[in-house]
Amino acid sequence: MVGCANGHPFNVAKEGYINLLLSHQRKSKNPGDEPAMVMARRRFFDSGAYAPLTAAIAAFPMFGKSGVSVLDCGCGEGHLLGALSEQVEGCFYGIDISKKAVQVAARRHKKATWLVANGMRDIPIADNSMDVILSVLAPRNNSEFSRILKPDGALLIGVPGPNHLIELRQKLQFSSGDFAAKADQAAEKCAPQFIETNREILSFKQTLDREQIADLIQMTPLFYRSGEEAKAAVMQLDELSVTVSFTLITLKPA
């Protein structure tokens, strides 16, 4: 059991995570990603389809620092932070509002601390305590990130890059707007707390089989925003070659 300064006790679940999500911090009984979406994401990452993204993040220079402290805010089922915790010596903390996602992360990745919490409210991490904050395809709480990050720390954010999954989106008759502008918009929203120091576009082709296609659709907004007939047709494909594109932006405290 752990406790906070106000005397509230929190039990450590059998899987090893801690649920810090209070009732007034959620809008539904089970907020965040649904179990089916969580498991689709776990299978998709396990398939290796996004392995270049995992490798690009692991190559981030700050992860060469001895005893690095890392927060992944919006960690999902824990693949990215879990992979880092297996390769780098340090302290690793993953936060997500989805209890199911944190359960799945905690069952597999024992070298990280996993918390159920609302990352868009008060984040339960001490002031100036993190060397790196990861926010990959997740909402960003810039005021809290600024509080938590060390003065010489770095914020690493990941957003969809140009033409990300364009072949799949075309088949689903789905448009996500101008992906090329998403990086500029993300960097602008991090101001004035953060200043951009580096930007990298990661782009590669990936051939997906039928199971990967189904999981990819289910784990993204494509599942809810595409028509049923188009989804059914795409899920019958034996394979599909897609463009995978991410923009990784490094920022420092202003």
Q: Which pLDDT belongs to residue 25?
A: 52
Q: Quick one: CATH architecture of 8-22+30-204+243-253?
A: 3-Layer(aba) Sandwich (3.40)
How far is 211 from 107, CA to CA, in rounded Å? 23
How buried is residue 57: exposed, middle or buried, by Cβ count under 10 Å (0-12/13-18/19+)? buried
Let me know: does 174 contact 226? Beta carbons within 8 Å: yes
How far is 153 from 250, CA to CA, in rounded Å? 10
Q: Which pLDDT belongs to residue 252?
A: 98
Q: Give the residue from 102, 99, 54 showing the smallest Cα distance to 80.
A: 54
Q: Which pLDDT belongs to residue 4?
A: 59
How far is 218 from 224, CA to CA, in rounded Å? 8
Task: Please report, for the chain, the start and end positions of each structural domain, with discontinuous segments joined by +.
Answer: 8-22+30-204+243-253
* Interacting residues of 219 by C-beta distance below 8 A, sequence separation 6+: 37, 40, 41, 44
How far is 208 from 214, CA to CA, in rounded Å? 10
Q: Which pLDDT belongs to residue 2?
A: 63
Low-confidence ranges of the chain (pLDDT < 50): none
Q: Which pLDDT belongs to residue 15?
A: 85
Q: Which pLDDT belongs to residue 128?
A: 98
Q: In this structure, what token pair is assigned to residue 72?
A: 């992944």
